[in-house]
Structure 1
């Protein structure tokens, strides 16, 4: 795994090894991440990275949020509660020397603390087939994490319906990954 573009282009990330199948650690591949970020940065959604505050739910290795930071996001909050994921995430933050632009919340992504600093860009990559995405999005919105007009990128094994309070913008399929792009009302 590596950073695809931006300031840290080509920089390798911590090796995942076999990951943690019990914890459903399934990092977004470089190819899927590149396609997602090309779609997001292609002008249709403006420039979603420039100065953005990012929320990376079910962050795993942090590759999505770190890619956004590399492309110009101002800050990223990573949320995960898996031991292996948190170890890899913290290792990646150290590798890229970006701790000053990040916050790691060690918590279930469906039970977020309240915030008064909402995010403009949200990555949602829950364990496939566990129906946790809706719960996490609802929790994030209720706790003040999602700014009005925020862009949400939701990865799952099937296309996802837009929950109440979100408008569908796009859906793409990359192998066994379906990416649903939403806009918060």
Structure 2
């Protein structure tokens, strides 16, 4: 569930009233996350998220997660609920980022979850190189940010990273050619796909590094 971090429309269901979305599994199962009434904030269905986390479940234990365009934070928080070690949630809308910080505090997850009130593209381009094992990339549909995000994302990937990409049903973003498609699915409105970066093709290899930094 991601927002545009700007007041533009973000694809189907952009005008839904305020509500909530639940964490589906793990230690925070059935916890409700607020969905403010924001133009461009588009809830992903429970079915899509359940399918995604079934795909990812063997990869989550101890993983470092990046939830770009975080919105309600449902994907990043679900990942930690299901066993990921750490998550960074990036959200440009200051109000939404503040709400995410409150949720993290309510869950007592400050040691595992960091919320960044920042523009995703600027953060990816300018922050120190990270080593994320799982990345959720679900930008606002109306802003067409897939190509720009995919250009700057690789420097933040660990070897054998997994990347989830959500887009309109009729749009398949151009991912780097060495990324391996793992699974994909569709709803009436959305295409969702999971890719794997082959071992040896992560940021450490691309930069010639031989170590894995402790923090992003």
TM-score of the two chains, using structure 2 as the length reference: 0.74
CA contact (8 A) 1:134 1:163 kept: no
Deviating beyond 4 angstroms after TM superposition, the runs of 4 or more aligned structure 1 residues are none
What is the CA distance between 1:51 and its match in structure 2? 0.2
Question: Is the alpha carbon distance of 1:97 and 1:154 closer, same or farther for their aligned partners in structure 2, counting shifts above 3 Å?
Answer: same
Q: What is the alpha-carbon distance in structure 2 between the residues aligned to residue 140 and residue 159 of structure 1?
A: 17
Give the secondary-structure state (helix, strand or coil) at the position aligned to 1:48: helix
Cα separation, partners in 2 of 1:62 and 1:115, compared to 1, 3 Å: same
What is the aligned partner in structure 1 of residue 43 from structure 2?
Answer: 27
Q: Which residue of 1 aligns with 2:101?
A: 90
Aligned position for 2:165? 154
Query: Match of 1:5, SS?
Result: coil
TM-score by length of 1: 0.85
**Highest CA radius of gyration, 1 or 2?**
2
Alignment match, 2:25: 5
Contact 1:129 1:156 (C-alpha < 8 Å) held by counterparts: no
Deviations along 1:124-173, one digit per CA (max 9) or x if unpaired, are: 010014221221122122xx311121000011113333234422222211
Displacement of 1:117 = 3.7
1:138 aligns with 2:154: no
CA distance in 1, matches of 2:150, 2:116: 16
1:10-159 superposed matches below 5 A: 10-13=30-33, 15-18=34-37, 20-21=38-39, 24-41=40-57, 47-111=58-122, 112=124, 113-141=126-154, 144-157=155-168, 158-159=171-172
Is 1:169–2:188 an aligned residue pair?
no
Q: Using the alignment, how far apart are the partners of 1:87 and 1:32 within structure 2?
A: 26
**Aligned partners of 2:45 and 2:27: how far apart in 1?**
19
How many residues get paired?
Answer: 174
Determine if contact 2:68/2:89 at 8 Å carries over to the other structure.
Answer: yes
Which SS does the other structure have where 2:111 is aligned?
A: helix
The alignment partner of 2:90 has SS state of strand
Q: Which shows bigger deviation, 64-73 or 25-34?
A: 25-34
| Alignment RMSD (CA, Å) | 1.8
Distance 1:103 1:17 in 2: 20
